[in-house]
Structure 1
Amino acid sequence: MKQSWKPGTMIYPLPAVLVSCGNTPERYNMATVAWTGTICTDPAMCYISLRPSRHSYDIISEEMEFTINLTTLDMARATDWAGVKSGRDYDKWKETGLTPVKGVKVGCPYIEQSPLSIECKVKEIIHLGSHDMFIAEVLNVLADESLINPESGAFELSRAGLMAYSHGGYYELGKCIGHFGWSVKKKK
């Protein structure tokens, strides 16, 4: 039997990402975001949702670009810290030890320690209530070369130690239980 609760956002787990923004070193900032995801494949599009009170909100609204940086077990403390402290009061790069690198297709930085960084251009901002959704086109994807298999050329993101957010906690992703289509694959 299930118990009814008031309406809420209980879709878990979610990616715990660091969104970097700011097109000059003086404006560089990052925010921890769990409300993010894919919208479309062609053109490649994604979204983030932010509260208007967040420091990064104003920067992204003005510059209309951001970078989504996937996070790992090694980045867990920095990811949490960047989510509870404001860039208005702290230099998050200095405090977390993460390294900003000038973007390739956008003016804002990506995070050197991230295994995958997704450079985005905002196409639309939808005002929803507590959060606003930034719908963006993906301009570039930066993959850590250490995760590219030298023999096959495959990007092995599963080796990165990615983490997710679930109902107030951060979790390292575990073992693979199957690949897309495995449930219907014919046995040899």
Structure 2
Amino acid sequence: MKQVWKPGNMIYPVPAALVTCGNTPERYNMLTVAWTGTICSEPPMCYISVRRSRHSYPIIKEEMEFTINLTTADMARATDWAGVRSGADYDKWAETGLTPVEGVSVRCPYIEESPLSIECRVRDVMELGSHDMFIADVAGVIADDRFIDPDTGAFDLARAGLMAYSHGGYYELGRCLGRFGWSVKGQKKR
């Protein structure tokens, strides 16, 4: 038997990402975002959704840049802390022990401890309900060498130990069940 619930957001798991912003060290800030994802592969585009009440919201809206930093199990406490404390009241860098590094393709920092950082330039802001969606072009990607397969040059997501968020909890991603196309690999086309 199934239950019918009122409308709600139950698309889980989602990334537990730390978004960084600010174009000078004095303005550098970070916030935890679970509502983020890919919009388009060509050109590469993504989005984040942010409440207007967040300290980082006007920084991102004014500067029109941000960086999405993927997180790991080792970053779980810092990720949660940055999501429940405001940059208006705390120096999140000092409190979490994370390290800001000057951006490569954008003026805002990326997080040294993140295995993968996606630098973004805002293309459009959609004013929605509780959150506004920042639609962005990907300006650059910064990948930690420790997780690059030397034979293929591919980023090894499994070794990076990425973290996801699901209905109030943080989870370390587990084993790979198969690669894209594995269910039909080796079968003859009909």
Structure-2 separation of matches of 1:140 and 1:148: 17
Structure-1 separation of matches of 2:5 and 2:151: 51
Structure-2 separation of matches of 1:26 and 1:185: 52
Q: Which residue of 1 aligns with 2:164?
A: 164
2:26 is aligned with 1:22 = no
Runs of 4+ in 1 over 4 A off after TM superposition: none
Structure-2 separation of matches of 1:35 and 1:152: 31
Task: Please show how residues 82-161 of structure 1 align to structure 2 within 5 Å.
Answer: 82-161=82-161
Unaligned runs of 5+ in 1: none
Structure-2 separation of matches of 1:115 and 1:145: 9
Structure-2 separation of matches of 1:121 and 1:46: 10
Q: Which residue of 2 aligns with 1:41?
A: 41
Q: Which residue of 1 aligns with 2:8?
A: 8
TM-score when normalising by structure 1: 0.98
Q: Offset at 1:156? A: 1.1
Q: Which residue of 1 aligns with 2:77?
A: 77
Moved more, 154-163 or 170-179: 154-163
CA deviation string 1:133-166 (max 9, x = no partner): 0000000000001111223322212101100000
CA deviation string 1:64-117 (max 9, x = no partner): 000000000000000000000000000000000000000001000000000000
Q: Which residue of 2 aligns with 1:62?
A: 62
Structure-1 separation of matches of 2:140 and 2:130: 29
Preserved CA contact (<8 Å) 2:158 2:174? no
Q: 3-state DSSP class of the match of 1:141?
A: strand
- Report how many residues are paired: 188
Q: 3-state DSSP class of the match of 1:94?
A: helix
TM-score when normalising by structure 2: 0.97
Q: 3-state DSSP class of the match of 2:18?
A: strand
Preserved CA contact (<8 Å) 2:23 2:107? yes
Structure-1 separation of matches of 2:130 and 2:187: 49
Unaligned runs of 5+ in 2: none
Structure-2 separation of matches of 1:138 and 1:98: 23
> What amino acid sits opposite 1:159 in the alignment?
R
Moved more, 155-164 or 43-52: 155-164
Q: Offset at 1:187? A: 5.9
> What amino acid sits opposite 1:70 in the alignment?
L
